[in-house]
Amino acid sequence: MNDSFPQGTAWIDGKFVKLSEAKISILDWGFLRSDATYDVVHVWKNNFFQLDKHIDRFFESTKKLRMPCQITRNELKIILAKCVKNSGFENAYVEMIQTRGVSPNFDRDPRKATPNVMAFAVPFGWILKPKDFEIGLDVYLTDIKRIPASSIDPTIKNYHWMDLVTGMFKAYEKGHHTALLVDEHNNITEGPGFNIFCVDETGIITPDTGVLEGITRQTVFNLAIELEINISKKPISAENLKKSKELFATSTAGGIMPITKISGDIIGLGNVGNITRQIHKLYWQKHSDSNWITPINNILK
C-alpha cells in the first residue's frame, strides 16, 4: 500500500483498480488544461445521499462543456456503487470525473479529443469534523476575486481552483481554517468546496450569483421551506457578512457547518446558532429518509 494514497477503489479505462494504481495520460486535456468536470456524492451507512441530483448536475456539466457523457445513468450508478462496495466503506466520498481526454497526435483542437470518464471512492471526509462542531469554523475573508461567471460558468463543477488555492494559503498563513473569496464588486461568493449562508432578521440568505449551485446548498432551501424559515438569494457584502447573527457553510464534505468567526472576529454570540442547529439536525435526519437516499445494494442487485 502506497502511504501517499488513502484507501479506496477507482474505475478507469473500463476496470476497477486500487486508488494508488489509477492513472491518466500526461497528455489528457484534464491534466494539461483543467478541461474537465466532476461531481461528488457521499455515501452514509451504505446509502448514497441525493445521488440522482449529483448525476443530473454531472451530465448537465458535460453537456455545457460540449462533451456530453456517453455513459448511461444506470451504468454510472453501478460504477459508483461498485467503487464503494469494492472499497468496503460504509461511509464514503465518491467522485465521478470526465476529462476532455487525449487528442490524436497531440492536436490542439479540443473537438478531436475523446472524453475520458473515471470515478473513485475514498473514506468520507469532513471540512469540519463532528468533534469540532460546537467550535465552528474560523474563515478568513480574503480580497481575492473569484473567477467571474463571464469567464467560467460557476454552475459547472470544475477544477479551476487557483484562486481558491491561493485563498487557502492566505488563510493557513494567518492561522484560520479556510478561506472565503469575493466577486468583482467585493460581495461574498464561496470558499474552497463550500457555499455560504448568513442568518439575519429576515431569515437565511446566500449569494445569488458567481457561485456553484451546490447540491447541499439546494438542500438547505428544501429544509428551510420544511422548517418554515424564510430563505433567499441576494448579494452579501462583507459588512452584511460580519453583522450576521449566524453563519454556516454547506458542502458534500460535511453537510451543514457552523462558522463562528470571520478572520478571527466573532460572529453573533460566537456559538452555533439556533437556525444552524435546526438545519443541521434535519439534514442528518434525511439520511434515513427513503425519499433522499439510494441504498448501494439496490443498485447492485
Angle, CA 121 vertex, CA 133 and CA 130 arms, to 5°: 10
Q: State the Cα–Cα distance between residues 112 and 177, nearest whole angstrom.
A: 42
Q: Which residue in 221, 202, 217 sits closest to 257, CA to CA?
A: 217
The pLDDT value given to residue 5: 79
Residue found under cell 452514509: 44
Per-residue pLDDT, averaged over 253-276, amounts to 97
Grid coordinates belonging to 87? 472499497
Of all residues in the chain, the percent with pLDDT exceeding 90 is: 98
Instruction: Provide the 10 A C-beta neighbour count for residue 226.
Output: 12
The pLDDT value given to residue 2: 60
Helix-, strand-, coil-residue percentages of the chain, each rounded to 5: 30, 30, 40
Per-residue pLDDT, averaged over 249-269, amounts to 97
Q: Which residue in 142, 135, 128, 206 sits closest to 171, CA to CA?
A: 142
| Helices and strands in the chain: count of H runs, count of E runs | 8, 15
The pLDDT value given to residue 221: 98
The pLDDT value given to residue 4: 77
Per-residue pLDDT, averaged over 178-199, amounts to 97
Grid coordinates belonging to 287? 439520511
What is the pTM assigned to this prediction?
0.96
**Domains, the chain, ranges and CATH?**
9-123 (3.30.470.10), 130-287 (3.20.10.10)
The pLDDT value given to residue 292: 98
Average pLDDT, whole number, for the chain? Answer: 97
pLDDT in tens, 202-254: 999 999 999 999 999 999 999 999 999 999 999 999 999 999 999 999 999 99
1 pLDDT higher than 90 = no
86 pLDDT higher than 70 = yes
The pLDDT value given to residue 226: 98
pLDDT in tens, 42-73: 999 999 999 999 999 999 999 999 999 999 99
Grid coordinates belonging to 38? 466532476
Neighbour-count burial for 41-74, b at 16+ CB within 10 Å, e otherwise: bbbbebbbbbbebbbebbbbbbeebebebebeee
Q: What is the dihedral of CA 164, 195, 193, 121, to 10 degrees?
A: -170
